[in-house]
Every structure is written in structure tokens, then in C-alpha cells.
Amino acid sequence: MLLIFPPVAKPCEPPAGVALLSSALKENRRSCHVYDANVEGLLYLINSDIDPIDSWSKRALKNREKILCDLKDKSLYENMDRYHQRVYDLNKLLSISVDTKRFRITLSDYSDSRLSSVNSKDLLKSAGQYKENPFYRFFEDRVRPQILNSDSKHIGISLCYLNQALVSFALAGWIKDSFKDKKIIMGGGLISSWMSRPDYNDPFKDLVDVMIRGEGEQPLLKLSGVKDISKKHYVPDYDFVKDDLYIAPGKVLPFRASIGCYWSKCRFCPEKAEIRPYSSQRASKVLQDLKAVDQKYAPDYIHLIDNAVTPAFLKALAKNKFGFKWYGFVRFEKEFLDPGFCHDLKRSGCDMLKLGLESGDQGVLDQMNKGTNLNYVSTILKNLHQAGILTFVYLLFGTSFEDEKAAFKTLEYIKAHEKYINYLNLAVFNLPKFSDDAKDLDTREFYHGDLSLYLNFTHPFGWDRRQVKQFLDKTFKKQVSAGSGIRKNPAFFSSNHAVFFKPQGK
């Protein structure tokens, strides 16, 4: 089986989903080849014959090879300004490699002014008009040999993010026209979300032969003739990874210790509306799998991609030392109240933790069912800072539980703890379309399209999106940035590159 991960996603690490699928197939003696068309496709455009349009693009084009080389050099990540110059130069080359009047492409985003990613008719148009897609030449030059070298009748397309949707369907349309004997399978996070809609009616049945909702290991094995396999957790297979291809200062490998979220109670979470079941293994078994990845691939960094790493696995990590550094998403759990535990995590290789705070108002957190105590948060942030672990804190504004007063409480809380926070992610809330909360609000479409997953709503306290965005731009960002040690998020790559910038004074 050939599994393809299409553009556009951040080209800094390989995709985890197809690595897990490959592992499941190979473990059951089924052939599998993975092709990361995302990183190869983006580099194909960046290295193409580009016509510079101004002095900026002329300079970037002249230094194209050096820019790519510098972004893979650890020393660049000692200077945020130099780093951003290189990233913006590289993005400039990518952006002008396509028809800028129609397409907008960045190192983390893709859009088409004529077609919508959340409209099934537009996605089918993208499939039918694949020759108009800016990756069409890449399909012909680089993807075609991959398919010709595969003896499998099945080609899987892993569609995880909205930024991949239009390109994925252009790829599917090209495969359908070019390889009549091939069967197309589509799965991935975005496909699962679409198929979780109660009104989903399979609009792609004439293009895609098999659509898979949720984890794909068991459906692919069944399709390959392997029956009665109940195993859910596999050690990812990164044999497809080409060294020095990804835009990062070292080899970064994603690793999933659990499926779903062990908390799974937050009212704002879109995955709660999709009812994704949680699944995990014993921490000792997960640790064994992680050590197997380390031994086989010798990564520089492990990116733990769990919705939230469990306290049990964190404890297992804290008792071990690895040859790699690691980072991941965690909840503000009581284990971090122990300074010794935080220092043990640092010694194990933990360089950064991503933490979903969402709000600095306890009442808002309680209504969210967040399960977070702000008194604990204060101590935890201090402990992590003292241990030398970077903190990337996520905030969510504009939920139906928040008003302007609560938003100002969040601002004051952040200002009081800013020396313990290294990065902030500020997000404006999108209401999941089929959540329980949507039933009690006056809602309207957020994106017009039959596959849209979010709604706009009339805020019960008059705290609408326009006011929230004005507060963030004119009040929050100005007050926090003034004299604050909180860093600017790495452009386009965000937390995926934030981990490479060391704590000041460390």
C-alpha cells in the first residue's frame, strides 16, 4: 500500500499518522510505502524556477540555499531576529512560486480564492481541475514515480488539516485520471471530523473508494485481508524519513503515547463533540515503545503529540534519561506542584511543555469544565521556570462563559506571571457546530459550506468576536509586550520551532 501525506502542513517534522499506519501494516506482513508529499512538495516549489518580483525576493532567491541551510543550523535559534529574517525570506520564495492572484500559500497555510476547503462541491471541482493546482507539476514529476513503483492497487491519502484539503482532492482527481486501476482511500483527522457530522452523506463516493473515520489501522488491515486485529497502539515506522529534509535543526519525530484525551470534559473542545474514545497503554509499555524509536532512529527531539500527556507517563519519563530532548502538551496537573518532579523532567530531556490555560478567571474555567485551579497554575509555572523548562501557554478568548471583565482578569493574571511564561498562543473561540453548547445559543454560519465544523454565535454578554479581537490587538498584546519576557512566537512554525530557543540565562 502507498500512503501519501499531501501539502500543506508545517514542513518541520514527518507526519505521525501515516507512520503508525505503516507500522500496523508491516507488523502484519503487508507491504507499505509512505511518501511525505508535504515537505517534498513545498521544497519542490521553493526550489523551482521563480521569477523575483522585487528586491526582497531577489535577495531571497540569491540566498535560497543558505536560507534552507541556516534553518537547519542550531546556531540560528540563538537569535530570534535572524531566525525570523530567514523564515520570512523562505516564505517569500514559496508565496511567489504560485499564481499569487489566485493562490495564497505559506509555510503553514494554503487557500484558493476560487474554491472553499469546506464546500464539498468546491473540493470536487479541485479534483476535476487538478491541472490548475500549483502542485500539479509536482504530482507529475515526483508523485508519479512513487505510484509507478508501487505494486499495490490501494493509494491512501492522509488528510489531517484544512490546509491540505484542496490539494488532497486535486491529488485524488489526478490519481483517478492517471491511474485507472488504483483505488483511493482517504482518512485522517479532518476526514474523521467531517464524517462525524450527523448530516454527513458521503459526497465524495464517486471519487474516493474508501473513506475512513477515526484511527485507520484496523480498517486498513481489514482492507488488506487481515481480520480480527484488535490492537490499537503501534510503534511508529519512520523508515520513510529522509535525513536533513525537514526544516528544523535536527531530526524531530512525533510520538503518540495515547489516543484521544484522558480528561475529555472541556465544554469548548471540538473533539468532545466527535465522541472520540480515549485509549492508552501501561506507561511501562509506552516507555518501551519510545525507547525502541530512540534505538532505531536516534532522533534529536521527540514531539509528544498526545492531546495531553498523562501524569502516569510523565512519571515514567521523569525516571529516565534519553539521548533525545522532548516536548509535548500537558494539563496543569498536581504532579507539577513538586519542584523535584519538574527538575526530574528537565533531566529526562524535557525542553518545553505546552499548557492549555485558556483563561485567568477561575469562574470561566469552572464553567468550561477545565478542571484547572489557578492557584496550582501559579506554582506550576514557577516550578517549570526554575527547572529550565520552557512554557508555551494557550489562552482562549470569546467563549460563551467569558465577558470583558473576565478577559481583563486573564490579562492581569498573565501580567502577574509573565516572567514564568516563555510563549503565549492567543486564540479566539470558534463554536463547534454540533456541540451541546451550540444548542443553547443563537448561532449562524461561520464558514459557508456543507463541511464547515464551526458556528458563529450571538454572545450572551455582548462580548462578540469583533470586540474580542480589538481587546487582543489594542489592549492585551500592548500591555503584555511592554517590558515582558514573553517571546514572539516563531512565524509559521509556532510551537514546533519555539522549543529550539533556549531559556534566557540557561
What would the pLDDT profile of 371-417 be if each residue is shown by its tens digit?
Answer: 999 999 999 999 999 999 999 999 999 999 999 999 999 999 999 99
Instruction: Give the mean pLDDT of 481-489.
Output: 79
Of 223-232, 370-379, 456-465, give the lowest mean pLDDT range: 223-232
- Given a cut of 60, whether residue 273 has pLDDT beyond it is no
Q: Is the dihedral of CA 110, 113, 115, 116 positive or negative?
A: positive
| CB distance 103 to 110 below 8 Å | yes
Ramachandran angles phi, psi of 243, nearest 5°:
-60, 145
pLDDT band at 506 (very low <50, low <70, confident <90, very high): very low
How many Cβ atoms from other residues are within 10 Å of residue 284's Cβ?
Answer: 10
Ramachandran angles phi, psi of 463, nearest 5°:
-90, 75
Instruction: Give the mean pLDDT of 312-335.
Output: 96
- Strands, DSSP E only, in 113-190? 154-158, 183-187
- Among 66, 134, 40, 141, smallest CA distance to 96 is for 134
Of 66-80, 226-240, 299-313, 370-384, give the lowest mean pLDDT range: 226-240
Instruction: Give the mean pLDDT of 464-483.
Output: 90
d(CA 405, CA 359): 12
- Given a cut of 70, whether residue 274 has pLDDT beyond it is no
| Residue intervals in the chain for CATH 3.80.30.20 | 252-498
pLDDT tens digits, 151-190: 899 999 999 999 999 999 999 999 999 999 999 999 999 9
- What global pTM score does this model have? 0.95
Domain range 252-498, CATH architecture: Alpha-Beta Horseshoe (3.80)
Share of the chain above pLDDT 90, in %: 87
Helix (H, G, I), strand (E, B) or coil at 396: strand
| CB distance 107 to 94 below 8 Å | yes
- Given a cut of 80, whether residue 505 has pLDDT beyond it is no
Q: Is the dihedral of CA 334, 340, 343, 344 positive or negative?
A: negative
Q: Is the dihedral of CA 170, 176, 182, 183 positive or negative?
A: positive
Instruction: Give the mean pLDDT of 201-220.
Output: 95
Which DSSP category does 485 fall into? -
Share of the chain above pLDDT 70, in %: 98
d(CA 24, CA 30): 9
- Letter for the amino acid at 171? L
pLDDT tens digits, 69-93: 999 999 999 999 999 999 999 999 9
Which residues make beta-bridge pairs with 186?
157, 211
Helix (H, G, I), strand (E, B) or coil at 62: helix
Q: What is the CB-side half-sphere exposure of residue 260 using CA atoms within 13 A?
A: 20
pLDDT tens digits, 245-262: 999 999 999 999 998 888
**Set of cell numbers at residue 466:** 469583533
